[in-house]
Amino acid sequence: MTYQKALTDDELYQILKLQKTNIISSITEEEKQKEGFVTVQHSFGILKAMNNKCAHSIATHESKVIGYALSMTDDFKEEIEVLKPMFEEIDNSLEGDTSYIVMGQICIHKAYRGQGVFRGLYNFMRQELKEKFDAIITEVDIKNQRSLNAHKAVGFGLLKKYAFNNQDWELIIWEI
């Protein structure tokens, strides 16, 4: 396995393919509970624009993207409707001049789960971004217990709980 920045359009298309197979609307209730899920489906255009601003972190095996952690600067706070409340909550919760990057979504191919890829992606992301940012922030739907537990195991702590659009969220932060 290799951890690296996303560099090519092909890698971005592989991210979108992995995202599509794990989007909340494409999986069963049992899979949601057992495996977790992703909430946002990105267009190629927005994914590429985000990558151009701050490259996404990917895990590859034999040239295949098997996991990703998306990087989203606050330049994109108005671009994805479902994420606007998250950015508002961040702005209202952070003290001082904390510079942060939002981890816009993380996903691991089912065949590679439980093998440390999640932790590996975050460790790579942390190393790549620690000179530029003070923290990585993300939000997790509280129904996604697999994701919440994995984030807490890596070192994320609670910044704030909030509700929006009939969903309960935990806004979490990892100081890097």
pLDDT in tens, 53-70: 999 999 999 999 999 999
> Coil, strand, or helix at residue 54?
coil
What is the reported pLDDT for 146? 84
* Other Cβ atoms closer than 10 A to 75: 11
- Domain residue limits at 123: 2-175
* Other Cβ atoms closer than 10 A to 86: 21
- Cα–Cα distance measured from residue 173 to residue 41, given in angstroms and rounded to the nearest whole number: 23
The domain spanning residue 42 has which CATH number? 3.40.630.30
Burial label, 113 (beta-carbon count in 10 A; 0-12, 13-18, 19+): middle
- Weakly modelled stretches of the chain, pLDDT under 50: none
Q: What is the pTM of this model?
A: 0.90
What is the reported pLDDT for 54? 96
- Cα–Cα distance measured from residue 144 to residue 175, given in angstroms and rounded to the nearest whole number: 22
* Other Cβ atoms closer than 10 A to 43: 11
- Cα–Cα distance measured from residue 33 to residue 74, given in angstroms and rounded to the nearest whole number: 30
> Coil, strand, or helix at residue 127?
helix
Residue closest to 40 by CA, chosen among 94, 93, 92, 86: 86
Q: What is the number of domains present in the chain?
A: 1
What is the reported pLDDT for 135? 95
What is the reported pLDDT for 129? 96
